[in-house]
Structure 1
Amino acid sequence: MSDMSKVFSAHAVSVDGYISGRTPDGVDDFGRGLGDAGMLFDWYFDGDTPSQVFGGFKLSEPSARFFDVVADRVGATVSGRTTYEHSSHWGGGGPQPTAPLFVLSHRPAPEISEKQTLVTTGIEDAIAAARAAAGDKDVAIMGGGALTSALAADLVDEVILHQVPVLLGGGRSFFQAVPKHVNLRLLTAIAAPGVTHLHYEVVR
């Protein structure tokens, strides 16, 4: 594995593990956005240090330093279908502006753009295709379902949680039911205004 690109996931989460909150009517459906969890991404814009990777992001200095290093690693992204839908298809692009997107789904996706690739044959094929596209950079996984499948297939090297100090108490959980025990080793913990960046490696 050492001579291959790494596979990792990075996502903003509440302390109790949610990536979106409750909606006013309690319905969790496509197009409902973050519900009452909009604060999970405030740290992207509440600082005075512009990101060198993502235009428009202004973070605190410690967040910018950590975020840009992680973002610059991404050579390709694998997204689950639910995350793809909830993100409004990333406008036909991807979450990382310069990295191709591979969408994992078991059903047709007529909305897939020319800049995106639909993979219907499983997480192993999606990550293999992303690795080929990433070259000497790494593969990022977006979405709890895709991450869970990749963990089950022993394909994940690192998990990064941008943990925001709030308990949402409901909404959409990031981690789905992991089918086996997974040990993590904490590599870095960076406290920053409004968020703590937790960088883990998967122990094999």
Structure 2
Amino acid sequence: MAKLLYSATASLDGYIAGPGGDMSWLTEHLVGDNPTADNLLANIGAILAGNGTFGGDDPNRGTDSEGAFGGRYHGPVVVLTHRPPAEPTPGVTFAGDLHSAVAQAKEAAGDKYVNVLGANVAKQCIQAGLLDEILMLFAPVLLGDGVRMFDQPGGTRVRLAPVSGETAHWYSVLY
């Protein structure tokens, strides 16, 4: 059965996007081999994204590398939104509530990962006790402001445990 994995690249001060969702800072850090990201990509069966992430900034917009994982992901996408577009988007399913979106993404993923993209959807999954793992890749930059990888003012602590055999920041979520 599919697991829900929140993965993102963050600045060393914990931001996954700059102010206003700006992703341009990431472009210079997407160059070169990344065995962890390559391994992850090979094991993703579906993407679950929020509407802000789905329609948001792409550090590779307008290039052959536009899209998830530098344009290398080609598979099912489920977007959690209360405002689906009037015209359907090929290969994309829109869901109006979290549990429906997760169920559809898990079904599409089969026995692979559902990769959660977007801090808001990841937070909702954590709050609902649905997120299984977190993988954070870090870029050598300090953004100082923007969208945090996990932000829940006044929220409760989330315990994590390293995933066995992984040298990256890959953790199981402990509830």
Judge same fold: TM > 0.5, yes or no. yes
2:53 pairs with one of 83, 91, 94 = 83
What residue in structure 2 maps to residue 201 of structure 1? 172
- Shift of the 174–106 alpha-carbon distance from structure 1 to 2, 3 Å rule, reads same
Q: Answer yes or no: is the 8 Å Cα contact 1:185–1:200 preserved in 2.
A: yes
1:110 paired with 2:86, answer: yes
Alignment of 1:5-84 (within 5 A): 5-22=2-19, 28=20, 33-34=22-23, 38=25, 40-45=26-31, 47=32, 59=33, 63=34, 65-84=35-54
What residue in structure 2 maps to residue 55 of structure 1? none
1:119 paired with 2:95, answer: yes
CA-atom RMSD, angstroms? 2.5
Stretches of structure 1 lacking an aligned partner (at least 5 in a row): 23-27, 48-58, 191-196
Counterpart Cα distance in 2 of 1:116 and 1:185: 32
1:173 paired with 2:148, answer: yes
Q: Answer yes or no: is the 8 Å Cα contact 1:94–1:101 preserved in 2.
A: no
Greater RCO, 1 or 2 (C-alpha within 8 Å, sep 6+): 2
TM-score for the superposition, normalised by structure 2: 0.82
SS in 1 for 2:75: coil
- Following TM superposition, the consecutive aligned residue runs of length 4 or more in structure 1 with deviations greater than 6 angstroms are none
Number of residues of Structure 1 aligned to a counterpart in Structure 2? 165
Q: Which has the larger radius of gyration?
A: 1
Letter in structure 2 aligned against 1:74: I
- Cα-to-partner distance string for 1:70-113 (whole Å, 9 max, x where unaligned): 1111101100011112146x89x962622200000112323540
Stretches of structure 2 lacking an aligned partner (at least 5 in a row): none
Letter in structure 2 aligned against 1:14: S
Percent identical among aligned pairs is 30
Counterpart Cα distance in 2 of 1:13 and 1:87: 15
